Amino acid sequence: MADTTQFNIVVLISGNGSNLQALIDACASGTLPNTRISHVVSNRKAAYGLTRAANASIPTTYHNLVPYKKKHSPDDVPRAREEYDADLAQLILSLSPRPDLIVCAGWMHIVTSAFLTPLSAPPSNTQSTDSSDPIPIINLHPALPGEFAGANAIERAWRAGREEGLKRTGVMVHEVIAEVDAGRRLLLGKWS
């Protein structure tokens, strides 16, 4: 008898959602067997990825940093980011079914420990029937390890190729940790 247990993924996006679409297609085709995208969260209201999710009947949530910044002075942006991240973690932890994995696919927001810590801990409700395992978080980053960390990696790699003679680039999937784009590498592709 085949295992029919669903592996639930929450995908975080900020834009077009082309990587989200690849995941949607992989789930639909069976390339990712017994896997479904159970929720999509975007930090941009006009992100086309929200339309892609809706077209695939995937629930979505819009969760934006701007209201958090408005509650604080410009000098206190780190506190606003931490509050935003803590609320984002709680939003994800409140989802049913509880996600087995969080995928940052074009998510243009660097998360803080206020996001990472709650997701790495077992649920506080000991009566919960959900798994008590931490929820792994992975990121698709369009650069090789140690190169072009953070935002705009594609543009920076292109500029380095044009202006500095960079002859190779790549992409990696890595675990998300507090240090930007420095988590344990899971997959790597290189191009010359």
Q: Could you read off the pLDDT of 105-120 as tens digits, one per residue? A: 999 999 999 999 999 9
The DSSP secondary structure of 44-70, one letter per residue, reads -TT-HHHHHHHHTT--EEE--SHHHHH
Task: Give the tens place of pLDDT for each residue, 26-78.
Answer: 999 999 999 999 999 999 999 999 999 999 999 999 999 999 999 999 999 99
Domains of the chain, first to last: 7-135 (3.40.50.170)
Q: Which of 176, 192, 145, 186 is nearest to 10 (CA)?
A: 176
- Tell me the three state secondary structure of residue 184: coil
Q: How far is 139 from 181, CA to CA, in rounded Å?
A: 8
Give, for 164, the enclosing helix (H) or strand (E): helix 153-164
Residue with more model confidence, 147 or 55: 55
Q: How confident is the model at residue 127 (pLDDT cuts 50, 70, 90)?
A: very low
User: Which secondary-structure segment (H or E) carries 71?
Assistant: none
Annotated catalytic residues are 141
Q: How far is CA 46 from CA 64, 103, 108, 139, in A?
A: 11, 20, 14, 22
* Nearest CA-CA partner of 59 in 108, 94, 85, 31: 94
